[in-house]
Amino acid sequence: MSGSGRPARRFYTSDGGVALTMKINVWDRRENESIQAYEAFCLYRDMGADRSCMKVGQKLGKSATIITRWSSQHDWVARARAYDMHLDKEAQKITEKRARDAIVKMNERQIDTGSRLQELVRIKIKVLEKLVDEWKSSGEDPKTCPLNGVLDKDLIAYYKLGFDTERTVRGEVTNLTGVEENEPRARRVTILMSDPDPEPTPEQEDLENTGKIKSN
As a whole number, mean pLDDT of residues 137-165 equals 75
pLDDT, position 178: 44
Q: How far is 167 from 62, CA to CA, in rounded Å?
A: 67
What mean pLDDT do residues 203-209 have? Answer: 59
List Cα–Cα distances, 186 to 165, 181, 189, in angstroms: 33, 12, 10
pLDDT at 28: 92
198 or 72, which is more confident: 72
Taking CA 181 as the corner, what is the angle to CA 180 and CA 186, rounded to the nearest 5 degrees? 95
Helix (H), strand (E) at residue 80: helix 76-137
The Cα–Cα gap between 216 and 112 comes to 96
- What mean pLDDT do residues 161-174 have? 72
pLDDT of res. 5: 46
Considering only residues 180 and 46, tell me which one the structure prediction assigns the higher pLDDT.
Answer: 46
Whether this prediction's pTM lies above 0.85 is answered by no
When mean pLDDT is compared across 74-78, 82-86, 130-134, the lowest value belongs to 130-134
pLDDT tens digits, 98-139: 988 888 888 888 888 878 877 887 887 788 888 888 888 888
Q: Give me the pLDDT at residue 192, please.
A: 42
pLDDT value at position 151?
A: 63
Among 3, 66, 67, 9, which residue's Cα sits nearest to residue 41? 67
pLDDT at residue 158, rounded to an integer: 65
DSSP state string for 15-78: TS-EEEEE---TTSPPTT--HHHHHHHHHHHTTGGG--HHHHHHHHT--HHHHHHHHHHTTHHH
Run of H or E including 9: strand 9-12
Model confidence at 188: pLDDT above 70: no
Q: Which of 25-39, 103-117, 180-194 has the lowest mean pLDDT?
A: 180-194
d(CA 198, CA 58): 113
Give the chain's mean pLDDT: 75
For residue 145, what pLDDT is reported? Answer: 83
